[in-house]
Structure 1
Amino acid sequence: MEGGNLFSEIPDIINSELFEDIQKHKSVRIERIISDGHASAEGEWYDQEEHEWVSVLKGTGVIEYDDGTLVVLDVGDYVNIPAHTKHRVKSTSATEKTIWLAVFY
């Protein structure tokens, strides 16, 4: 059995969003994402093969869909993003690191 802590080993300085796989299986991948005021580049969209369930564990984040819809996520909030739904990170907290938990399936 393996274990860990989602709030440990967080670097003091993060130049770009940090993506870390926690677990991988043939049909599921669990990822910790750490943002520090980061956002997707303007005009850059995720268009993923997998569905993505994502939650904010610390901080805040705003997800933008290509139709202009914005979803604000505070601590404990989550959203499910169906495969091939174009989206981007519009913004994350400028005052603290944002820790996301993402499950791809």
Structure 2
Amino acid sequence: MTNLYANLPKSLPNEVFEDIVSTSNLRIERILSYGHSSPEVGWYDQSENEWVLVLKGQGVLEFEDGRTITLSEGDHININAGVKHKVQSTAPDQITVWLAVFYS
């Protein structure tokens, strides 16, 4: 047994991406952010669908079509494969814990 809140670091110079489960058609990942955002240039443009949930903290997603969505604790969204997006910002004063499920 493991806990998604276990081993949260005191500081995070870089985002942390950790696979929890990985198979040929499903991947579950824990992401830890602390005031991080995606690089200014470029978008996530994935060949997989992504369901993402904010367990702790807050994150703002930006989509190539100009939409922005703020996700707070408990909020989740499904992002279809090929939909370009990035993380505009995450909570600057606490760790944001994301759970992302990638699937075909």
Where structure 2 has 5 or more consecutive residues not aligned to the other structure, the ranges are none
Alignment match, 2:4: 6
Alignment TM-score, normalising by the size of structure 2: 0.96
Where structure 1 has 5 or more consecutive residues not aligned to the other structure, the ranges are none
- The answer as to 2:54 corresponding to 1:59 is no
Which 4+ runs in 1 deviate beyond 6 A?
none
**Count of residue pairs brought into register by the alignment:** 103
Percent pairwise identity: 51
Determine the C-alpha separation between the residues in 2 that align with 1:8 and 1:80: 25
* Root mean square deviation, CA, Å: 0.7
Alignment match, 1:72: 70
Alignment match, 1:24: 22
Alignment match, 2:41: 43
Report the Cα offset of residue 91 of structure 1: 0.3
1:99 maps to which of 90, 97, 100: 97
Report the Cα offset of residue 53 of structure 1: 0.2
Determine the C-alpha separation between the residues in 1 that align with 2:24 and 2:41: 31
Higher strand proportion (structure 1 or 2)? 2
Alignment match, 2:87: 89
